[in-house]
């Protein structure tokens, strides 16, 4: 038992697991301070509901931290510039935010003089690793308390516990685990555990009342979006605005199956229209201004960066080195992209940049060359065949 004078900082989402943790930890003698870290995706009404839930389940004090700018500057910017998609599909919607939540909870724990930090992760997911690694690195002196993981609490058990205590159960507590943030929304549980099962209609079909198709223009400055249809927006505001528009069209819905930090396979549904649209538009602009080998090495390192971040290893210095290379590569990624939106899909229809390497004064692909002669082109093709010719002969024409 711990004296109630000993404060504990609980990373609090307002969902079932963290709602369970508050009274359970209080029973163990902790003075529970709930810390909600806003990483985007929640409006004023949702934040108020989270505060009310924390108070009703017994939080001593509820703290709210606005970390949207930190999430963007520390994580999202490199996920855009690195074109990071896990399994070529998933834009790391949750991983982009969990480490920041851990950072912010540690800061709150220091302010209140906490002896421990708690989170509501299970023992079977990636989030426990993301939280624990960050806490071990940033606050090795603080105890890590994890009631859900430590006691193997299932969702139905958490619901029964809150009911027995006469405490409010969050809406949709028995259906899915839902994570909504700046970089997208994910769904876990239910149908996601059956790899043959399709998603519910709200994730499968575009909205019946989707607006008419339209084109938008995104302006880019050094590899980051800077304006939406001529209106200067930056950081979280632009991502949030683009996310609102994408949601109207049902853009960015998909399913991802992949490796987890624990070595098992995992499956989630997600909706991340802004993330997918920005990464696709950014990649097309890069194709116009970067060299072949810049793109090649960015692709390799971007994949590695995403893998490490996904598995909670943000603090490895190798990631700072990769961020430095990514930043260097973006010096000429400035210009505009035109994107067409329609129900359930989008297409990057145009790019332009003052640094474009598509120079028609030198050559027009497939049609006309000005910088070299036909004989020079013939000689180039002949020399280019030499390595393959030698290998073909050495291998007995196989």
Query: 3-state SS of the chain?
Result: CCCCCCEEEEECCCCHHHHHHHHHHHHCCCEEEEEEEECCCCCHHHHHHHHHHHHHCCCCEEEEEECHHHHHHHHHHHHHHCCCCECCCECCCCHHHHHHHHHHHHHHHHHHCCCEEECCCCCCCCHHHHHHHHHHHHCCCCEEECHHHHHCCCHHHHHHHHHHCCCCCCCCCCCCEEEEECCEEEEECHHHHCCCCCCCHHHHCCCCCCCCCEEEEEEEECCEEEEECCEECCCHHHHHHHHHHHHHHCCCEEEEEEECCCCCEEEEEEECHHHHHHHHHHHHHHHHHCCHHHHHHHHHHHHHHHHHHHCCCCCCHHHHHHHHHHHHHCCCCCEEEEEEEECCEEEEEEEECCCCCCCCCCEECCCEECCCCHHHHHHHHHHHCHHHHHHHHHCCCC
Choose the weakest-confidence range: 109-118, 169-178, 295-304, 370-379.
169-178
Query: Residue 96: inside a domain, yes or no?
Result: yes
Which range, 92-101, 204-213, 236-245, has the best average confidence (pLDDT)?
236-245
Q: Do 114 and 57 fall into the same domain? A: yes
Does the pLDDT at position 133 exceed 90? yes
Q: Please write the tens of the pLDDT for every residue from 264-313.
A: 899 999 999 999 999 999 999 999 999 999 999 999 999 999 999 999 99
Cross-strand pairs, 270: 186, 254
CATH assignment at residue 318: 3.90.1260.10
Query: Residue 357: inside a domain, yes or no?
Result: no
> Among the three residues 135, 150, 173, which one is the final residue of a domain in this structure?
173
* pLDDT > 90 fraction of the chain, expressed in percent and rounded: 79
User: 35 is in which domain, residue-wise?
Assistant: 7-173
> Among the three residues 173, 203, 227, which one is the final residue of a domain in this structure?
173
CATH assignment at residue 99: 3.40.50.620
Q: Do 148 and 190 fall into the same domain? A: no
Q: Do 264 and 341 fall into the same domain? A: yes
Q: Do 207 and 257 fall into the same domain? A: yes
Q: Do 341 and 367 fall into the same domain? A: no
Pick the more confident residue, 91 or 369. 91
pLDDT band at 367 (very low <50, low <70, confident <90, very high): confident
Query: Residue 2: inside a domain, yes or no?
Result: no
Q: Please write the tens of the pLDDT for every residue from 28-46.
A: 999 999 999 999 988 999 9
Q: Do 295 and 205 fall into the same domain? A: yes
pLDDT band at 356 (very low <50, low <70, confident <90, very high): very high
Cα dihedral 6, 10, 16, 19 sign: positive
Q: Do 156 and 189 fall into the same domain? A: no
Q: Do 187 and 316 fall into the same domain? A: yes
Q: Please write the tens of the pLDDT for every residue from 60-108.
A: 999 999 999 999 999 999 999 999 999 999 999 988 899 999 999 999 9
Choose the weakest-confidence range: 112-121, 173-182, 351-360.
173-182
> Among the three residues 152, 173, 194, which one is the final residue of a domain in this structure?
173
8 A C-beta contact, residue 228 and residue 253? no
* Number of domains comprising the chain: 3
Does the pLDDT at position 2 exceed 60? no
Q: Do 265 and 216 fall into the same domain? A: yes
What is the reported pLDDT for 171?
A: 80
What is the reported pLDDT for 381?
A: 95
What is the reported pLDDT for 177?
A: 73
What is the reported pLDDT for 199?
A: 87
Whole-number average pLDDT of the chain: 92
Nearest to 184 by CA among 247, 128, 233: 247
Does the pLDDT at position 365 exceed 80? no
Q: Please write the tens of the pLDDT for every residue from 149-201.
A: 999 999 899 999 999 999 999 886 656 677 889 999 998 888 898 999 988 88
Does the pLDDT at position 7 exceed 60? yes
Nearest to 36 by CA among 66, 56, 59, 58: 66
Q: Do 300 and 197 fall into the same domain? A: yes
Query: Residue 327: inside a domain, yes or no?
Result: yes
Does the pLDDT at position 1 exceed 50? no
Q: Do 192 and 163 fall into the same domain? A: no
Query: Residue 345: inside a domain, yes or no?
Result: yes
Query: Residue 74: inside a domain, yes or no?
Result: yes
Query: Residue 358: inside a domain, yes or no?
Result: no
Does the pLDDT at position 263 exceed 80? yes
Tokens 């924390």 belong to 54
Q: Do 343 and 382 fall into the same domain? A: no
Three-class SS of 224-247: EEEEECCEECCCHHHHHHHHHHHH
Query: Residue 332: inside a domain, yes or no?
Result: yes
Instruction: Provide the token pair at 237.
Output: 């505001």
CA distance 246 to 216: 11
């Amino acid at each position: 038992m711990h004296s109630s004078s000993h404060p504990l900082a609980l990373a609090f989402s307002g969902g079932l697991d963290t709602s369970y943790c508050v009274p359970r930890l209080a029973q163990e003698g902790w003075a529970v301070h709930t810390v909600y870290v806003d990483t985007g995706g929640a409006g004023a009404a949702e934040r108020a509901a989270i505060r009310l839930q924390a108070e009703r389940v017994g939080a001593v004090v509820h703290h709210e931290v606005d970390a949207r700018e930190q999430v963007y500057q520390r994580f999202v910017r490199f996920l855009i510039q690195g074109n990071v998609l896990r399994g070529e599909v998933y834009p790391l919607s949750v991983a982009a935010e969990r480490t920041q939540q851990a950072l912010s909870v540690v800061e709150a724990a220091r302010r209140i003089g906490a002896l421990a930090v708690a989170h509501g992760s299970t023992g079977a997911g990636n989030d426990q690793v993301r939280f624990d690694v960050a806490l071990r690195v940033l606050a090795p002196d603080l105890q890590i308390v994890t009631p859900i993981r430590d006691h193997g609490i299932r969702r139905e058990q958490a619901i029964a516990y809150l009911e027995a205590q006469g405490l409010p159960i969050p809406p949709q507590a028995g259906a899915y685990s839902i994570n909504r943030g700046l970089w997208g929304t994910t769904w876990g549980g239910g149908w996601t555990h059956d790899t043959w099962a399709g998603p519910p209609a709200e994730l499968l079909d575009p909205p019946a009342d989707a607006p008419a198709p339209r084109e938008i223009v995104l302006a880019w400055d050094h590899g980051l979006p800077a304006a939406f249809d001529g209106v200067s927006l930056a950081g979280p505001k632009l991502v949030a605005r683009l996310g609102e528009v994408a949601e109207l069209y049902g853009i960015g819905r998909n399913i991802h199956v992949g490796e987890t930090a624990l070595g098992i396979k995992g499956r989630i549904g997600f909706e991340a229209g802004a993330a997918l649209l920005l990464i696709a538009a950014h990649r097309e602009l890069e194709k116009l201004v970067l060299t072949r080998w810049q793109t090649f090495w960015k692709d390799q390192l971007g994949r590695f960066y995403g893998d490490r971040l996904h598995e909670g290893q943000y603090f490895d210095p190798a990631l700072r080195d990769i961020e430095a290379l990514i930043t260097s590569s973006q010096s000429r990624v400035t210009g505009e992209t035109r994107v067409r939106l329609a129900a359930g899909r989008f297409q990057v229809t145009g790019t332009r940049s003052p640094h474009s390497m598509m120079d028609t004064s030198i050559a027009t692909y497939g049609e006309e060359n000005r910088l070299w002669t036909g004989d020079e082109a013939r000689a180039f093709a002949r020399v280019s065949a030499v390595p393959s010719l030698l290998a073909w002969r050495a291998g007995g024409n196989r």
